[in-house]
């Protein structure tokens, strides 16, 4: 079905002019559709993992996978935010296409006025050859010439405006994409550091154990899970400057001592805003946010194209 949809986008692009720009728009739409589908599949797989864990006798599996499912739900929300930003970026190129079409209309109007001027000039020349009074035809010719001058001015003005807007809008759209990915990367780091920490709380079990070992980290797992979700919700990307072409990013600071807790921070180094490395550790107490995967209702949400 997706391949059919992609083909329809391409056919539309090839049949409406501005082929390259139309293909940019259609391919971005296709990429966004496939990205949204991947989010839904990932959410479905997590739901199945959660259902399976609830049938197991191990409390460690039940508690930890419940927390992991909540983290994955938050991760799906992060990816959905990125999909929304990709749509905003795609709208940028749609606006450029509309301005290009308006410029095309102005050029066609100019061509029409030029053709009218040529026709009237021929008419004046014909009347002169016949020795008749060319007064009426000359007035028509003057009107055609003024119309052509107005059309030329319109084309020149629209061209300059379109080119300036094009560059500015592309810059705005691509910066939007970059910042959306930076935000996603920071939130990804926060969520999956917690994900790893929670996985490490699952105790190892010997095949000689008749019963699963006791699990005493339930409250700690919940604390780390909710702390990570809260920090991911608050994470923002603020760029104070852009890296110059050919420049190298600043050196990373030394990591914290093993076993320490350092929440992701956003600091400015040499004029660049970036996140400092950090990791979540079991035992850090934070206020709790969302309490369950079932209460969220994200699976029923639908994307628009």
Most trustworthy range by pLDDT among 81-90, 131-140, 254-263, 289-298 = 81-90
The answer to whether residue 288 scores a pLDDT higher than 60 is no
Higher per-residue confidence, 106 vs 9? 106
Q: What is the tens place of the pLDDT at every residue in 42-76? A: 999 999 999 999 998 889 999 999 999 999 999 99
The answer to whether residue 301 scores a pLDDT higher than 90 is no
CA distance 112 to 115: 5
Of the pLDDT bands very low, low, confident and very high (cuts 50, 70, 90), residue 17 is low
Tell me the two tokens of residue 126.
Answer: 């014909």
Q: What proportion of the chain, given as a percentage, has pLDDT over 90?
A: 43
CA distance 233 to 286: 14
Give me the chain's average pLDDT, please: 76
CA distance 68 to 81: 20
Q: What is the tens place of the pLDDT at every residue in 126-169? A: 888 887 777 888 888 888 899 999 999 999 999 999 999 999 99
Tell me the CA distances in angstroms from 19 to 87, 103, 171, one per residue in order: 20, 16, 21
Nearest to 25 by CA among 88, 89, 80, 93: 93
CA distance 165 to 98: 12
Q: What is the tens place of the pLDDT at every residue in 193-204? A: 999 999 999 988
CA distance 127 to 138: 10
**What is the Cα gyration radius of the chain?**
31
Of the pLDDT bands very low, low, confident and very high (cuts 50, 70, 90), residue 281 is very low
Tell me the two tokens of residue 249.
Answer: 């990013």
Q: What is the reported pLDDT for 248?
A: 39
**268: enclosing H helix or E strand:** strand 265-269
Q: What is the reported pLDDT for 48?
A: 95
């Amino acid at each position: 079905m997706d391949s059919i949809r992609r083909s329809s986008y391409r056919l539309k692009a090839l049949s409406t002019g501005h082929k390259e720009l139309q293909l940019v728009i259609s391919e971005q739409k296709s990429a966004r559709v496939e990205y949204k589908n991947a989010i839904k599949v990932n959410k479905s797989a997590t739901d199945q993992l959660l259902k399976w864990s609830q049938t197991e006798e191990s409390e460690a599996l039940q508690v930890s996978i419940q927390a992991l499912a909540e983290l994955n739900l938050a991760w799906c929300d992060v990816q959905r935010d990125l999909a929304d930003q990709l749509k905003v970026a795609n709208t940028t190129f749609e606006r450029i296409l509309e301005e290009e079409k308006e410029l095309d209309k102005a050029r066609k109007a100019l061509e029409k006025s030029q053709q009218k001027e040529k026709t009237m000039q021929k008419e004046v020349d014909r009347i002169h050859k016949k020795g008749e009074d060319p007064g009426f035809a000359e007035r028509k010719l003057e009107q055609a010439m003024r119309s052509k001058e107005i059309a030329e001015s319109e084309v020149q003005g629209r061209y300059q405006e379109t080119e300036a807007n094009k560059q500015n809008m592309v810059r705005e759209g691509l910066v939007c994409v970059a910042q959306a990915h930076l935000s996603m990367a920071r939130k990804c780091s926060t969520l999956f550091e917690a994900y790893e920490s929670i996985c490490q709380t699952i105790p190892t079990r010997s095949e000689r154990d008749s019963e699963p070992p006791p699990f005493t980290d339930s409250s700690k797992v919940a604390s780390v899970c909710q702390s990570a979700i809260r920090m991911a919700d608050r994470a923002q990307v603020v760029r104070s400057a852009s890296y110059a072409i050919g420049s190298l990013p600043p050196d990373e600071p030394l990591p914290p001592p093993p076993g320490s807790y350092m929440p992701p921070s956003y600091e400015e180094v040499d004029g660049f805003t970036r996140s400092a490395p950090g990791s979540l550790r079991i035992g850090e107490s934070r206020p709790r946010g969302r309490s369950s995967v079932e209460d969220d209702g994200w699976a029923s949400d639908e994307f628009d194209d």
